[in-house]
């Protein structure tokens, strides 16, 4: 085991030398670098966690240990092997006190070793591709405090950085510059934000990503065997993204007998960060659970790659993108539905504080009426003085019944109103 681990350590060192070069710098909080608490970074596979890890290593002056567990040679690695791994580090590099572990969720019981390192006064930073790492049970394993960070594929701002587009304040006012930004936004809407794919587009790359998620992270991890059933479920979800579903109706459509099985499948997929279930807002959690859910995907390209759309449904992609941007900003998001529907309402603390509608255009009376009425119903229900309608190009200010409605191009909203654009920060006291 030792010789194998040492071989992998050296191979990974060579790989790490170049991984953070020629990439877009991710947003790194000073607290992440200075904290003595355990830092846990999670997100979907290939969204940039490993690059973020290397960018953090480059900012910290101390010597460290690094190990990536996403290696097929480590399939039999168990928590008891951590001691051997540590011995390898000491033998190769001497004693250090900063540890980086990439994709550590592959080792069952990893929390036990990390807790020991933490208790011994070491700095520990780990990444993983499973939301289960942030479960409530984590606090029972990791005594003391930890900081958990969720990162996403590239935001539109990061996409522009990758495309080497330099933004200036005047760009938001000049017609020619706005047209260029809209062109970039259309590309982003289609391509999504997976960094590696944007750097060298390849359908094969994203197919391998999809296979890794479904067969390794969903099927194998949860002991599932009916891959046809799972594939059909995901195909239907991608083909009907943003629409309301129930576990019962979904089961009938894709041929899964028990609604509980459907519920479990969606939870397993959700743990990989591929999909999110959006609930209808209600002060009662029970009511939220009983109402239909809406399904959104982590990235638009996955929707396009997996799902079937008879037409190029830009409206679905725009709504999906807005949802992910709201999640990227760390918001607690729901949909509103009563007599009318509002796409998104945002809860802060115990109150709904923001409301958003998403539509491609508002140039016909029917669409305009639907979007405004849905937004106004939500604003009135939660006592909001203003709300947003996000479009492709339209921009105007409306005053309706004494309330402000901001109609904005989605790209402008994503660039101008950015708050914590790359991550969701959670602080936990265990």
Count CB-CB contacts under 10 A for residue 374: 23
Picking from 212, 216, 154, the residue whose alpha carbon sits closest to that of residue 185 is 154
Under 8 Å CB-to-CB from 405, ≥6 apart: which residues? Answer: 372, 375, 376, 386, 387, 388, 389, 397, 398, 399
Quote the pLDDT of residue 22: 60
**pTM exceeds 0.75 for this model:** yes
Topology adopted by domain 2-151: Rossmann fold (3.40.50)
Picking from 191, 349, 384, the residue whose alpha carbon sits closest to that of residue 357 is 384
The count of residues in the chain is 430
Q: Which two tokens stand for residue 224?
A: 């599932």
Picking from 192, 167, 191, 169, the residue whose alpha carbon sits closest to that of residue 181 is 167
Q: What residues in the chain have per-residue pLDDT under 50?
A: 310, 419-430
Give alpha helix (H) positions in 361-421: 365-381, 410-416
Contact call for residues 272 and 45 (beta carbons, < 8 A): yes
User: Is the domain defined by 155-193+312-420 classed in CATH 3.40.91?
Assistant: yes
User: Domain residues of the chain, as ranges?
Assistant: 2-151, 155-193+312-420, 202-276+288-310
CA distances (Å), origin 389, targets 359, 386, 414: 7, 10, 13
Topology adopted by domain 202-276+288-310: Arc Repressor Mutant, subunit A (1.10.10)
* 147 strand-pairing partners: 39, 427
CA distances (Å), origin 149, targets 193, 209, 264: 18, 22, 25
Contact call for residues 31 and 63 (beta carbons, < 8 A): no
Quote the pLDDT of residue 27: 85
Under 8 Å CB-to-CB from 365, ≥6 apart: which residues? Answer: none
């Amino acid at each position: 085991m030792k010789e194998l681990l040492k071989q992998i350590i050296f191979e990974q060192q060579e790989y790490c030398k170049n991984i953070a070069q020629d990439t877009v710098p991710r947003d790194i909080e000073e607290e992440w670098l200075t904290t003595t608490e355990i830092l846990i970074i999670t997100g979907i596979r290939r969204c940039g966690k490993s690059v973020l890890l290397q960018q953090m290593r480059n900012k910290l002056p101390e010597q460290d240990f690094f190990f990536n567990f996403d290696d097929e040679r480590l399939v039999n690695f168990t928590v008891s092997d951590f001691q051997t791994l540590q011995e390898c580090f000491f033998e190769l590099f001497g004693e250090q006190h900063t540890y980086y572990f990439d994709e550590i969720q592959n080792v069952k019981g990893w929390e036990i070793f990390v807790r020991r390192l933490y208790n011994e006064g070491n700095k520990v930073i780990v990444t993983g591709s499973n939301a289960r790492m942030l479960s409530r049970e984590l606090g029972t394993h990791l005594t003391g405090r930890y900081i958990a960070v969720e990162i996403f594929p590239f935001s539109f701002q990061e996409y522009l950085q990758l495309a080497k587009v330099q933004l200036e304040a005047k760009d938001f006012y000049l017609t020619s510059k706005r047209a260029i930004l809209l062109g970039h936004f259309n590309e982003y809407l289609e391509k999504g934000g997976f960094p590696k794919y944007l750097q060298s587009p390849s359908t094969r790359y994203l197919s391998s990503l999809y296979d890794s998620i479904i067969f390794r992270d969903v099927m194998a991890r949860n002991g599932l065997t009916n891959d046809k059933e799972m594939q059909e479920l995901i195909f239907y979800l991608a083909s009907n993204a943003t629409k309301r579903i129930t576990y019962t109706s979904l089961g009938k459509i894709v041929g899964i007998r028990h609604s509980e099985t459907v519920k479990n499948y969606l939870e397993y997929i959700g743990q990989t960060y591929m999909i999110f279930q959006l609930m209808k807002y209600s002060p009662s959690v029970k009511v939220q659970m009983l109402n239909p859910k809406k399904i959104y995907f982590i990235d638009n390209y996955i929707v396009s790659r997996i799902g079937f759309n008879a037409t190029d449904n830009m409206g679905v992609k725009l709504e999906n993108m807005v949802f992910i941007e709201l999640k990227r900003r760390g918001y607690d998001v729901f949909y509103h539905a009563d007599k009318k529907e509002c796409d998104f309402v945002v809860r802060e603390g115990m109150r709904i504080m923001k409301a958003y509608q998403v539509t491609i255009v508002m140039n016909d009376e029917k669409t305009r009426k639907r979007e405004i009425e849905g937004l106004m119903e939500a604003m009135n229900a939660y006592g909001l003085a203003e709300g947003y309608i996000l479009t492709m190009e339209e921009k105007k200010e409306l005053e309706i019944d004494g309330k402000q409605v901001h109609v904005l191009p989605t790209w402008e909203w994503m660039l101008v109103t950015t708050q914590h654009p790359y991550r969701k920060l959670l602080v936990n006291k265990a």
